[in-house]
Chain A
Protein backbone atom coordinates (compact mmCIF):
# COMPACT_ATOMS: atom_id res chain seq x y z
CA UNK A 1 0.00 0.00 0.00
CA UNK A 2 1.08 3.57 -0.64
CA UNK A 3 2.15 5.67 2.32
CA UNK A 4 3.10 9.29 2.60
CA UNK A 5 1.44 10.70 -0.51
CA UNK A 6 1.86 14.44 -0.71
CA UNK A 7 -0.28 16.97 -2.45
CA UNK A 8 -0.09 19.14 -4.34
CA UNK A 9 2.62 17.68 -6.54
CA UNK A 10 3.79 21.19 -7.39
CA UNK A 11 3.17 24.56 -5.81
CA UNK A 12 4.31 27.97 -7.02
CA UNK A 13 3.93 31.03 -4.79
CA UNK A 14 5.35 34.51 -4.32
CA UNK A 15 7.89 35.36 -1.67
CA UNK A 16 6.16 36.32 1.56
CA UNK A 17 3.16 34.06 0.99
CA UNK A 18 2.44 30.96 3.02
CA UNK A 19 2.84 27.50 1.54
CA UNK A 20 0.80 24.51 2.68
CA UNK A 21 1.61 20.97 1.71
CA UNK A 22 -0.40 17.93 2.67
CA UNK A 23 0.46 14.31 3.22
CA UNK A 24 -1.82 11.31 3.53
CA UNK A 25 -0.94 7.83 4.62
CA UNK A 26 -2.72 4.53 4.99
CA UNK A 27 -1.53 2.58 8.02
CA UNK A 28 -1.04 3.42 11.69
CA UNK A 29 2.25 5.15 12.33
CA UNK A 30 4.76 5.78 15.10
CA UNK A 31 6.06 9.06 13.70
CA UNK A 32 5.76 11.24 10.66
CA UNK A 33 8.77 13.21 9.49
CA UNK A 34 9.06 16.01 6.95
CA UNK A 35 12.18 16.44 4.85
CA UNK A 36 13.36 19.02 2.34
CA UNK A 37 15.45 18.23 -0.69
CA UNK A 38 17.09 20.85 -2.85
CA UNK A 39 17.53 19.72 -6.41
CA UNK A 40 20.05 16.88 -6.61
CA UNK A 41 21.00 17.21 -2.96
CA UNK A 42 20.46 15.31 0.26
CA UNK A 43 17.42 15.05 2.48
CA UNK A 44 17.35 17.65 5.21
CA UNK A 45 15.25 16.79 8.22
CA UNK A 46 12.70 19.47 9.14
CA UNK A 47 10.36 18.15 11.79
CA UNK A 48 9.34 14.88 13.42
CA UNK A 49 5.86 14.62 14.87
CA UNK A 50 4.89 11.65 16.97
CA UNK A 51 1.58 9.87 16.60
CA UNK A 52 0.36 11.25 19.96
CA UNK A 53 1.10 14.84 18.97
CA UNK A 54 -1.27 17.06 17.02
CA UNK A 55 0.83 20.08 16.18
CA UNK A 56 4.46 21.10 16.21
CA UNK A 57 6.30 24.30 15.38
CA UNK A 58 9.86 25.02 14.37
CA UNK A 59 10.65 28.57 13.31
CA UNK A 60 8.52 29.32 10.24
CA UNK A 61 7.35 25.71 10.01
CA UNK A 62 4.14 24.36 11.44
CA UNK A 63 3.21 20.70 11.16
CA UNK A 64 -0.12 19.20 12.07
CA UNK A 65 -1.05 15.56 12.36
CA UNK A 66 -4.56 14.12 12.28
CA UNK A 67 -4.31 10.42 12.94
CA UNK A 68 -8.07 9.94 12.55
CA UNK A 69 -7.78 11.17 8.95
CA UNK A 70 -4.30 9.74 8.48
CA UNK A 71 -3.03 13.06 7.24
CA UNK A 72 -0.46 15.71 8.01
CA UNK A 73 0.20 19.19 6.76
CA UNK A 74 3.33 21.30 6.57
CA UNK A 75 2.89 25.05 6.60
CA UNK A 76 5.76 27.36 5.74
CA UNK A 77 4.95 30.92 6.69
CA UNK A 78 6.43 34.04 5.09
CA UNK A 79 8.15 32.01 2.41
CA UNK A 80 11.51 32.95 0.93
CA UNK A 81 13.13 32.15 -2.38
CA UNK A 82 15.53 29.89 -0.45
CA UNK A 83 12.56 27.70 0.53
CA UNK A 84 12.37 26.51 -3.08
CA UNK A 85 12.84 22.75 -2.86
CA UNK A 86 10.94 19.46 -2.82
CA UNK A 87 9.25 18.54 0.43
CA UNK A 88 8.60 14.96 1.46
CA UNK A 89 6.74 13.35 4.27
CA UNK A 90 7.93 9.99 5.51
CA UNK A 91 6.19 7.62 7.85
CA UNK A 92 7.23 4.63 9.84
CA UNK A 93 4.44 2.22 10.48
CA UNK A 94 3.46 0.62 13.76
CA UNK A 95 4.71 -2.94 13.84
CA UNK A 96 8.03 -4.55 13.11
CA UNK A 97 9.21 -2.57 10.10
CA UNK A 98 12.14 -0.19 10.45
CA UNK A 99 11.71 1.51 7.15
CA UNK A 100 10.54 5.01 6.36
CA UNK A 101 8.07 5.19 3.49
CA UNK A 102 8.29 8.36 1.43
CA UNK A 103 5.83 10.01 -0.88
CA UNK A 104 6.75 11.54 -4.23
CA UNK A 105 6.95 14.96 -2.66
CA UNK A 106 5.69 18.46 -3.32
CA UNK A 107 7.90 20.63 -5.48
CA UNK A 108 7.68 24.14 -4.06
CA UNK A 109 8.80 27.14 -6.05
CA UNK A 110 8.96 30.49 -4.29
CA UNK A 111 9.27 33.34 -6.76
CA UNK A 112 11.17 36.45 -5.67
Chain B
Protein backbone atom coordinates (compact mmCIF):
# COMPACT_ATOMS: atom_id res chain seq x y z
CA UNK B 1 0.00 0.00 0.00
CA UNK B 2 1.38 3.48 -0.81
CA UNK B 3 2.52 5.37 2.22
CA UNK B 4 3.45 8.78 3.52
CA UNK B 5 7.14 8.92 4.43
CA UNK B 6 8.72 11.33 6.87
CA UNK B 7 12.27 12.28 7.74
CA UNK B 8 13.95 12.50 10.13
CA UNK B 9 12.37 9.96 12.46
CA UNK B 10 14.01 11.66 15.44
CA UNK B 11 15.62 15.03 15.88
CA UNK B 12 17.10 16.72 18.92
CA UNK B 13 17.64 20.44 18.61
CA UNK B 14 18.66 23.32 20.80
CA UNK B 15 16.09 25.92 21.75
CA UNK B 16 16.11 28.78 19.26
CA UNK B 17 17.36 26.67 16.37
CA UNK B 18 15.50 26.23 13.11
CA UNK B 19 14.14 22.80 12.25
CA UNK B 20 12.82 21.45 8.96
CA UNK B 21 10.73 18.31 8.94
CA UNK B 22 10.28 16.60 5.61
CA UNK B 23 7.48 14.56 4.17
CA UNK B 24 6.79 12.76 0.94
CA UNK B 25 3.01 12.41 0.62
CA UNK B 26 1.35 9.68 -1.41
CA UNK B 27 2.10 10.49 -5.02
CA UNK B 28 -1.35 11.22 -6.48
CA UNK B 29 -2.69 12.96 -3.38
CA UNK B 30 -3.65 16.60 -3.56
CA UNK B 31 -4.30 17.62 0.07
CA UNK B 32 -1.51 17.73 2.62
CA UNK B 33 -1.49 18.21 6.37
CA UNK B 34 0.69 18.53 9.42
CA UNK B 35 -0.48 17.42 12.83
CA UNK B 36 1.39 17.11 16.10
CA UNK B 37 1.08 15.06 19.24
CA UNK B 38 2.68 16.18 22.47
CA UNK B 39 3.59 13.15 24.58
CA UNK B 40 0.50 11.72 26.24
CA UNK B 41 -1.85 14.20 24.61
CA UNK B 42 -4.24 14.35 21.68
CA UNK B 43 -3.22 14.57 18.06
CA UNK B 44 -3.70 18.23 17.09
CA UNK B 45 -4.20 19.79 13.68
CA UNK B 46 -1.60 22.32 12.58
CA UNK B 47 -2.17 23.17 8.94
CA UNK B 48 -3.70 22.01 5.68
CA UNK B 49 -2.27 22.75 2.24
CA UNK B 50 -3.90 22.49 -1.15
CA UNK B 51 -3.08 23.87 -4.57
CA UNK B 52 0.21 25.30 -3.31
CA UNK B 53 -1.24 27.35 -0.53
CA UNK B 54 -2.36 27.03 3.06
CA UNK B 55 -6.08 26.32 3.16
CA UNK B 56 -6.47 26.27 6.93
CA UNK B 57 -4.29 26.64 9.99
CA UNK B 58 -4.80 26.29 13.70
CA UNK B 59 -3.92 28.69 16.52
CA UNK B 60 -0.79 26.62 17.15
CA UNK B 61 0.50 27.41 13.67
CA UNK B 62 1.87 30.86 14.42
CA UNK B 63 4.52 32.93 12.63
CA UNK B 64 7.23 30.54 13.79
CA UNK B 65 5.81 27.83 11.55
CA UNK B 66 5.78 27.64 7.78
CA UNK B 67 5.09 24.99 5.16
CA UNK B 68 6.36 24.57 1.68
CA UNK B 69 6.03 22.24 -1.24
CA UNK B 70 9.36 22.98 -2.91
CA UNK B 71 8.96 20.42 -5.70
CA UNK B 72 6.43 17.91 -6.93
CA UNK B 73 7.03 15.42 -4.16
CA UNK B 74 8.20 16.97 -0.90
CA UNK B 75 6.15 18.81 1.70
CA UNK B 76 8.07 20.46 4.52
CA UNK B 77 7.31 21.98 7.90
CA UNK B 78 9.74 24.58 9.17
CA UNK B 79 9.91 25.83 12.73
CA UNK B 80 11.99 29.00 12.71
CA UNK B 81 13.06 29.33 16.31
CA UNK B 82 12.17 26.28 18.34
CA UNK B 83 10.83 26.47 21.89
CA UNK B 84 10.79 23.76 24.55
CA UNK B 85 7.03 23.40 24.08
CA UNK B 86 7.53 22.48 20.42
CA UNK B 87 8.78 19.08 21.57
CA UNK B 88 6.30 16.62 20.09
CA UNK B 89 5.74 14.00 17.45
CA UNK B 90 4.92 15.72 14.14
CA UNK B 91 2.81 13.82 11.65
CA UNK B 92 2.48 14.53 7.98
CA UNK B 93 -0.68 13.33 6.25
CA UNK B 94 -2.22 13.38 2.81
CA UNK B 95 -5.56 12.82 1.17
CA UNK B 96 -6.49 12.13 -2.42
CA UNK B 97 -9.47 14.43 -2.74
CA UNK B 98 -11.96 16.54 -0.86
CA UNK B 99 -13.18 15.45 2.52
CA UNK B 100 -16.24 13.32 1.99
CA UNK B 101 -15.28 9.68 1.96
CA UNK B 102 -11.58 10.27 1.52
CA UNK B 103 -9.21 8.64 3.94
CA UNK B 104 -6.38 10.70 5.42
CA UNK B 105 -3.16 8.69 5.53
CA UNK B 106 -0.53 9.52 8.09
CA UNK B 107 3.21 9.02 8.12
CA UNK B 108 5.24 7.41 10.90
CA UNK B 109 6.00 10.78 12.43
CA UNK B 110 9.08 12.79 13.32
CA UNK B 111 9.95 12.99 16.99
CA UNK B 112 11.25 16.46 17.79
CA UNK B 113 12.95 17.08 21.10
CA UNK B 114 13.89 20.65 21.92
CA UNK B 115 16.49 21.01 24.69
Using CB atoms and an 8 Å cutoff, list the residues of chain A in contact with chain B: 30-31, 33, 35, 40-45, 48, 50, 88, 90, 92, 96-105
Contact = CB atoms under 8 A, between A and B. Distances in A.
Nearest to B107: A42
A102 B42 contact: yes
Interface stretch (B63-71, B73-81, B96-104): B96-104
Contact of A48 (B44, B103, B106): B103
20 contacts: A30-B99, A30-B100, A31-B99, A40-B89, A41-B109, A42-B107, A43-B91, A44-B106, A96-B56, A98-B31, A98-B33, A98-B48, A98-B56, A99-B33, A99-B48, A100-B45, A102-B43, A103-B42, A104-B41, A104-B42
Contact of A50 (B50, B101, B104): B101
A97 B56 contact: yes
Contacts of B14: none
DSSP majority for the B interface?
strand
B55 interface: yes
A48 B95 CA distance: 13
A85 to B, nearest CB: 14
A35 B106 contact: yes
A42 B3 CA distance: 11
A88 to B, nearest CB: 7
Nearest to A98: B48
A110 B54 CA distance: 41
A40 B74 CA distance: 24
A42 B41 contact: no
